Amino acid sequence: MILILKDHPDPNQLENLENWLTSMGLTLHESQGENHLILGLVGDTSAVDIDLVKALDIVQDVRRIQEPYKKANRKFHPLPTVSSVGDVQVGGGAFAVFAGPGAVESEEQIHRLAGLVKQAGADVLTAGAFLSRTSPYAFSGLGVSALRQLSAAGKAAGIATASELTDLRTLDAFEEIDGVILGPGNMTNTALLKALGATNKCVILCRGLSSTVEEWLMSAEYLLSGGNENVVLCDQGVRGFDSACRLAADLSSVPLAHMLTHLPVMYAPSMATGRQELAAPLGLAAAAAGADGVWLTCHDDPEHALFAGGESLTPAALSTLVQDMRRVRKAGEA
């Protein structure tokens, strides 16, 4: 960490500052710039509150040198982590396809879709039991019973399962579900992060709609520092200014996150665009950009889906896309 001091700092204040920093076990290097005295802090600066230091009267600016995440940092863990959703591996070379309807609608529906999605080439079946809806009047999922039906459908079809957790009190109900999805609205929900960090459940950690890649990795750090290393990052799109699509599909997060962390990184084109006709080209793009997998919405009757119909691919479209993505991935690597 580097502190840039204001011109002509008060000597007493400077001495106080230096004493305080030294008392935190840091070594200081002074260097005099043309207009500014600069203090370099050597040692473990993770306990230094950057905003606090900025607020000091004699400090003009503070620049961090070290990334604030440690366990998620590729620098200290160069090999890619391979996470596991049931027996499906994500990261380290494979290309995982998560797919399913926006919501479990009935036992029959999820059993039918489990088969269709598996047949289309997907590795993990996803379906919502607890939906984060903008409107209190909208269908919000069938709850715990939907988790039971999802798990049973996955087992019957021989496909791993994942679903979104929105409330700590229902964590136990995910026992038979292979992957717990933390949606973008819960990326900074520290209560959920801490609870999941204490399990060995695979967590698919979605990027918040206005979270930087660094903030996303800090949320992963909550999980890792809690002891859970079975983590998959998934970008669902970020808030942008063009209302033609639901969100902005900034794919640079995929290679950027790969540079910064060893964790696997997926992309969710259906959620990002909100439009099934854009999900396919963005799925191909994510595969080409090196994503470790994609998460797609799929329904065999989108027009009557209870949730997320507009972004849902049919099983036939999914099947074609899965083949195309795998071919593109291979072509990009060759």
Looking at residues 207 to 236 of the shown chain, list those that interact with its own copies (rule: CB under 8 A): 209-210, 212-215, 218, 221-222, 225-226
CB atoms within 10 A of CB 145: 12
Is 52 a binder of its own copies (CB under 8 A)? yes
Largest CA distance in the chain: 76
Query: Would you say 263 and 234 are in contact if contact means Cβ atoms under 8 Å apart?
Result: no
Stretch that binds its own copies, among 27-35, 91-99, 105-113, 151-159 (CB under 8 A): 27-35
Sites for its own copies among residues 137-156 (CB under 8 A): 137-140
Sites for its own copies among residues 255-274 (CB under 8 A): 255-256, 259, 272-274
Query: Would you say 43 and 26 are in contact if contact means Cβ atoms under 8 Å apart?
Result: yes
Q: Which of 142, 196, 286, 294 touches its own copies by CB under 8 A?
A: 286
In the complex with its own copies, which residue's Cβ is closer, 179 or 269? Answer: 269
Stretch that binds its own copies, among 46-54, 84-92, 105-113, 228-236 (CB under 8 A): 46-54
CA angle 310, 315, 316 (to 5 degrees): 110
CB atoms within 10 A of CB 156: 12
Q: Which of 22, 106, 119, 132 touches its own copies by CB under 8 A?
A: 132
In the complex with its own copies, which residue's Cβ is closer, 68 or 86? Answer: 68
User: Across-strand partners of 59?
Assistant: 5
Q: What gap in Å lies between CA 105 and CA 97, rounded to an integer?
A: 21
In the complex with its own copies, which residue's Cβ is closer, 26 or 110? Answer: 26
In the complex with its own copies, which residue's Cβ is closer, 84 or 314? Answer: 314
Sign of CA dihedral 57, 58, 61, 66: negative
Q: Which of 203, 263, 287, 294 touches its own copies by CB under 8 A?
A: 287
Is 32 a binder of its own copies (CB under 8 A)? yes
Is 43 a binder of its own copies (CB under 8 A)? yes
Dihedrals phi, psi of 118, to nearest 5 degrees? -65, -45
Sites for its own copies among residues 294-313 (CB under 8 A): 302-312
Is 181 a binder of its own copies (CB under 8 A)? no
Q: What gap in Å lies between CA 125 and CA 38, rounded to an integer?
A: 54
In the complex with its own copies, which residue's Cβ is closer, 191 or 316? Answer: 191
Q: What is the dihedral of CA 109, 96, 328, 313, to 10 degrees?
A: 20
> What residue type is 102 in one-letter code?
G
List C-alpha distances in Å: 84 to 94, 155, 201, 202, 236.
12, 16, 9, 6, 20
Q: Which residues of 103-132 are buried (b: 16+ CB within 10 A; e: fewer)?
A: bbbebebbbbbbbbbbebbbbbbbbbbbbe
Q: CB of residue 227 vs its own copies: minimum separation in angstroms?
A: 11
Is 285 a binder of its own copies (CB under 8 A)? yes
In the complex with its own copies, which residue's Cβ is closer, 154 or 293? Answer: 293
Is 4 a binder of its own copies (CB under 8 A)? yes
Q: Which of 12, 135, 158, 172 touches its own copies by CB under 8 A?
A: 135
Is 57 a binder of its own copies (CB under 8 A)? yes
Q: CB of residue 186 vs its own copies: minimum separation in angstroms?
A: 7
Q: Which of 116, 146, 162, 282 touches its own copies by CB under 8 A?
A: 282
> Which H helix or E strand runs over 124?
strand 124-126
Q: CB of residue 110 vs its own copies: minimum separation in angstroms?
A: 18
